[in-house]
Every structure is written in C-alpha cells, then in structure tokens.
Amino acid sequence: MENHVIICGYGKMGSYISDMLLSYNIKHIVIENDPNKEPVMKDKGLSYIIDDATKSTVLKKAEIDKASAIVIVTGDNAKNLFIIITARSISKDIYILSKATDSFTKEKFIEAGANYIVTPELSAADEILKELKLK
Amino acid sequence: MSYINKRDIKRVRLVASLLGIALVIALISYFALYELSRSTSFSLLETIYEIFSANGYPYVQSYSFLNLNDKGFGLFVIISVIDGLAKLIAISVGISILLDVIISIKTEDILKLNSYANLKDHVIICGYGKVGESLAFALEKLDKDFVIMDIDKAKARTAHILGYKSIIGDFKYERDLIRAGIKTAKTIIFSSEDAYKTLLGITVARKLNSKIKIAAVAAEEFSRSKLHRAGADLVVIAEELAALEMCNILINRIKYGH
C-alpha cells in the first residue's frame, strides 16, 4: 500500500472513520488488538492487522513509511501516546491524528509529535452550543 | 447527618484511631511518670511539674531525685518529647479532618437545598462529566447564565467550588428540575450517555416546560431516534462528531492536498 491511512483501534471512532474513508474510496488499513473484532472487519472487506499498534514492528508491517497519515483512536490515552511516539520515531513526515480525553492530554500528545488532536467531549459541547445558537 | 458518605465515615474512623494512638502514648507516659514519682518522695503532680516546667531542669538536678547522669533520664526525655509531638500531630490532624468533614457536610446541605427557580432564560446542564465540564467552561466564557445539576455529590461540589451555580439533584425528578429553574430556563442539556436516564429526563423536562430547547448526548446511533421521539431537539454522539472532524482533515489532505 502507498499513501494510505493507518487506523489504530477499531472501536466506535475507528469504525466510524473506516466507514467514512470507505465511502470516499481512501485506502486504509486497521490495526486492532482484539481478535473478536476480526469477523466484522473481514465482513467489510477491510485490510487489517490483529496486533498491538504500540509495537514498531506492527506499524512497519502496516507500511507506515509509505502511509500519508495515521489515526490513533484506541480507548487508552497511554497507548495512544505510545503509538504517537513510536510512529513519529519511524516516520518524521507522517501526519498524525489522535484522540485525547482532555486538554492536558492534548498538549502532551502535540509535544510528543501529533499534528492534530480531537477531544470527543469537547466536540460534542461545541456542536451543542453551535446548534442551539448559544455560541 | 444523612449526607455523610462512606469517605467521611472513613475519615472519622481515621481521626478516632489517631486520637486513640495519642491516648495510648499519653497513658504510657503517665504510667512512666507515676512509677517515677513512686520511686521518689515527690507526688505525681510535683514530678510532672519538675520534669515539664520551664525551670524543671535546674530543679531536677538540685533535688536530685532524677539525676542528669542517670541512664534513664535521657531516654525519658526522648520519650516525653515523642509523646508531646505525637499528641500535637494527632490533635492537629484530627481537628483539620473534623473541620473538613463539617465543612463538606455544610456544603452538601447547601447544594441539596439550593434553588435557582428565580433564574430566567438560563441553561441547565444535567451531568458534570467531561461534556458537562466543557459546556460549563464555554458558557462561562460566553457570559451565559447556567446551572449544573449532578446526582454525584463530589461532582456537584467540584462545580460549586469552581464558582458555578450547582445543585445536587436527579434530573428524573420534577422537584430537582424545578429547583434548577426548568420552568423559566431557555435550554436544558443532558450530558449523560445513559440513554434510559436521559429519556426519562427529557420526558419530565418536556412536561414541565413545553417550550424549552432540549439537547442530549447519546452513546450509540440507535439511541438517537429514541431521544428525538421523546422530545429532544438535538442529539449528538461525541465520538461520531470527533470521527467526522478527523475525516474532514484527512479528506482535505489526501484528496485536495490541503
């Protein structure tokens, strides 16, 4: 694969992102640790690796050196941070997006090398305020 | 005292234990002094006075019932000093913990009884979790009036300490929503991801104020339609929004080179 997107974590966010990328025909590969999610990914015809995305060997298997972006959306902040550090150490140019649970974590992720961070709870609050015209 | 929680009971037990330890040390010291006074011609009170008074030191030497050179003397002074320090620490810690418990009980009383029924056109935030916190922070910056309601005493207390109007309450109950000023509020936001509780809250809120704008956070797609049917004007799924945001960035970069 080349110029593809790597998605680390096939939880709620990972599956949403994968579905949207599929609809735009954007090549991507999913790395997920939980083997119970394999049938779902297989059914959807996804490229995937069932392994721990914190390992550099796994990221290399996903061809991180040829990828255009990596999306890190596991449920664990510590894991996400680890993956950011590992990804950045392998590829200086890759665009790293990650999920964080709060603004303190967000800062740490940016310092570790992430390019863009989303905080789902903040996104929800922003959307509510915007739609209710409170903002 | 029905507002005392398990944490407060643990603290009271800790205070009692510390005071108990201090009492034991004091008793040991007392008996040591008693034994000492028995071995001399002095009464217990005189012995205590001689040992602990500011002038005790020279008198001790001159009365020679307790000699400086006595092997026991140094040890006794050390034990007495430790005893005094232990009592001082135990009493100080005990007083501060008791004060903390009293203050937290008082704060909970306030939060349980507070009423904002006189507010108008304000926002009610049900739930002071991560979404509730973000909402409160943003509304404060926008200078909008709002009330936070949470069933969790610790969360309601945190919001109160941060200077927000807050109450301890359950949004399933009319009386608590009325205390939050639902009848005159402009908007109510349910930030709990528990769809069942939110459904109940929406139903009660709609009943008390048919014109109020209702927003809710859902955890799953299948909850969205249910919450809309119950009366919510807006339902958002936090992770879906975050995923959308990420995808917009990716698509712009990959497809359009931005």
Domain that holds residue A10: 5-131
pLDDT band at B249 (very low <50, low <70, confident <90, very high): very high
What average pLDDT does the segment B76-96 reach? 74
* Inter-chain CB proximity B244 and A16 less than 8 Å: yes
Q: A10 to chain B: which residues are within 8 Å by CB? A: none
pLDDT tens digit string along B201-226?
999 999 999 999 999 999 888 899 99
Torsion of CA A30, A34, A36, A38, to 10 degrees: 20
Task: Chain B: give the shortest CA distance to residue A56, in Å.
Answer: 23
B2 Cβ neighbours under 8 A, 6+ residues apart: none
* Residue A55 pLDDT class (50, 70, 90 cuts): very high
Q: Which of B123, B189, B243 sits opposite A20 (nearest CB)?
A: B243
Q: What percent of chain B has pLDDT over 70?
A: 79
Q: How many CB pairs under 8 A join A and B?
A: 112
Residue scoring higher pLDDT (B199 or B101): B199
Q: Residue A85's domain is classified under what CATH number?
A: 3.40.50.720
Q: How far is residue A120 from each of residues A11, A29, A101, A107, B217, measured CA to CA in Å? A: 13, 22, 7, 15, 11
For residue A65, the distance in angstroms to the closest alpha carbon of chain B comes to 16
The Cα–Cα gap between B181 and B201 comes to 14
Residue B43: its H or E element: none
Greater confidence (B82 vs A87) lies with A87
Note which residues in 31-60 of chain A have CB less than 8 A from chain B. Answer: none
For B236, which of A102, A119, A128 is closest by C-beta distance?
Answer: A128
pLDDT at B75: 63
Domain boundaries, chain B: 6-113, 123-250
Q: Is the predicted pLDDT of residue B172 greater than 90, yes or no? A: yes
Lowest model confidence (mean pLDDT) among B39-53, B74-88, B97-111:
B39-53
Cβ distance of B254 and A97 shorter than 8 Å:
no
Asked if the C-beta of A106 comes within 8 angstroms of chain B's C-beta atoms, the answer is no
pLDDT at A73 over 50: yes
At B47 the pLDDT is 67
Helical ranges in B39-147 per DSSP H: 44-52, 56-63, 71-113, 130-141
Judge whether residue A13 has pLDDT over 80.
yes
CA distance B150 to B184: 19
With contacts defined as CB-CB under 8 Å, which chain B residues touch A5?
Answer: 250, 254
A68 in contact with B, Cβ within 8 Å: yes
Q: In DSSP terms, which residues pair with B188 in a beta bridge?
A: B124, B214
Main-chain dihedrals φ then ψ at residue A59, nearest 5 degrees = -65, -35
Q: How confident is the model at residue B55 (pLDDT cuts 50, 70, 90)?
A: very low
Spell out the residues 6+ positions from residue A59 whose beta carbon is closer than 8 angstroms to its own.
A6, A31, A53, A70, A83, A86, A87, A90
Domain range B123-250, CATH class: alpha beta
User: In sequence order, what are the beta bridge partners of B25?
Assistant: none
A97 reaches B (C-beta below 8 A): yes
Q: Pick the more confident residue, A24 or B57.
A: A24
| pLDDT value for B243 | 94
Nearest CA in chain A to B212: A132
Report CB contact under 8 Å: A101, B130: yes
Domain count, chain A: 1
pLDDT tops 90 at residue B1: no
Q: Is the pTM of this model over 0.80?
A: no
Nearest CA in chain A to B241: A123
Q: Which residue has the tokens 């040992």?
A: B51
pLDDT tier for residue B3 given thresholds of 50, 70 and 90: very low
